[in-house]
Amino acid sequence: MKVKIKTIAAESLGVRAYANYIETPDIKVLIDPGCSLGPKNKSKIPHPIEYIKLKEKTNEIIQYSNKADILIISHYHNDHFKNFVVDYDYINTDNEIAEKIFSNKTIIIKDPNKFINYSQKKRAKIFLSHAKKICDKIIIADNNKIAYGQTELNFSEPIFHGELNSTRGWVIMTLISYNNIEKFIFTSDIQGPTTKKPMNFISTYSPDFIFLDAPSSNRINDFFTQNLKKLIKNTKKIIIDHHLLRNLKWKKWINNKVGSNISNVFCAAEFNNKKLLQLEALRKELFVKYPPSDEFIKWTNLSQKIRKLTNPPLEKMDKNFQNTFIIDINIDKKNNDFNQ
């Protein structure tokens, strides 16, 4: 294979995201350069381990954005791009971080004015007011096709973020094709495919690899199950991550519903040959196994407005405590950087 691909951030790698980096002989692309943490659940905000991983993944996104020629934003949810706002509570972003990612880049974006809900339109307006000043070029992705040498980028029309008429808005799917032979599709947050449009887009191009955002476990239906069976039959590798990986039993569901002897379905961590880190799904257990420092607890008791403006006090925690859980989540350093 002449195309190299790596998932930079995803739920199986410790954060909410689906950031992917692709190199062809013509171009280097980073899709959805963002990451965040899941909000408070069961009276607990993210554990310190999650914040450490969020900072780590933010730095990786900056690293790979520096290598990339093109950045793609499939939609304007906080786990898919770093905006020009200050928010250390769940997103770990500020103007400096965003500038490091987007400066001097070509950015291909979901149309900020059409097929977009109110919250995403508001975020897009803030983003573009800054990005226009520092990036090289901004291109609308929706239903667009762009060629760079033998590499083609094909973008879908706006697709619902999940079920039909989803209030979460629309997203853009991306096909990257090299020499019309090696084909990769990134579905973004379709949470499926559970509708005809995303399934038609995938079927049209018959990709070798599909980076698929499967539904949350409580949104799985028979239509998705049947579509997944078809895709498994006709695709070399399917990498399932993002919403479904917020459930520790994701693999058990696939085994029960689709089949236990499937050899071409992976999560992003497995695809990267790295340790599975479903930290959000393990949040309750993390608080029990690794009780946070007093300083961190005090920070969690601040108002959300103040937490957004104040970095969590991770550096003040006991070094032995940090070393213990960092060793526990340490990634195998012997793995190659790319999957061939």
Written as tens digits, the pLDDT of the chain (340 aa) is: 899 999 999 999 999 999 999 999 999 999 999 999 998 876 689 999 999 999 999 999 999 999 999 999 999 999 999 999 999 999 999 999 999 999 999 999 999 999 999 999 999 999 999 999 999 999 999 999 999 999 999 999 999 999 889 999 999 999 999 999 999 999 999 999 988 999 999 999 999 999 999 988 777 888 899 999 999 999 999 999 999 999 999 988 888 888 777 899 999 999 999 989 999 999 999 998 888 989 999 999 999 999 999 999 987 665 555 566 655 654 333 333 333 3
- CATH homologous superfamily of 4-327: Ribonuclease Z/Hydroxyacylglutathione hydrolase-like (3.60.15.10)
Give yes or no for a contact between 65 and 33, defined as CB atoms under 8 angstroms apart.
Answer: yes
Residue 338: predicted pLDDT: 35
Residue 240: predicted pLDDT: 96
Largest CA distance in the chain: 56
Distance CA 50, CA 148 (A): 38
Give the residue ranges of DSSP H helices in the chain: 48-67, 95-102, 118-134, 196-205, 222-234, 250-257, 268-271, 283-289, 294-300, 304-309, 319-328
Distance CA 139, CA 225 (A): 35
Q: Which of 72, 223, 112 is nearest to 162 (CA)?
A: 223
Cite the beta strand spans of 64-110 per DSSP E. Answer: 70-73, 106-109
Give yes or no for a contact between 72 and 32, defined as CB atoms under 8 angstroms apart.
Answer: yes
Distance CA 87, CA 37 (A): 12
Q: Which of 256, 208, 191, 250 is nearest to 229 (CA)?
A: 256
Domain ranges of the chain: 4-327
* Beta-bridge partner residues of 72: 31, 108
Residue 220: predicted pLDDT: 80
Distance CA 285, CA 91 (A): 22
Q: Give the tokens for residue 224.
A: 């998705």
Residue 236: predicted pLDDT: 95
> pTM for the full model?
0.92
Give yes or no for a contact between 153 and 167, defined as CB atoms under 8 angstroms apart.
Answer: no
CA 260, 266, 272, 278 dihedral sign is negative
Residue 219: predicted pLDDT: 78
Give yes or no for a contact between 101 and 60, defined as CB atoms under 8 angstroms apart.
Answer: no
Residue 328: predicted pLDDT: 60
Phi and psi at 93, nearest 5°, equal -145, 155
Q: Give the tokens for residue 298.
A: 């005090």
Could you give the count of Cα atoms lying within 13 Å of 312 in the half-sphere of its Cβ? 27
Residue 332: predicted pLDDT: 39
3-state secondary structure of 315: coil
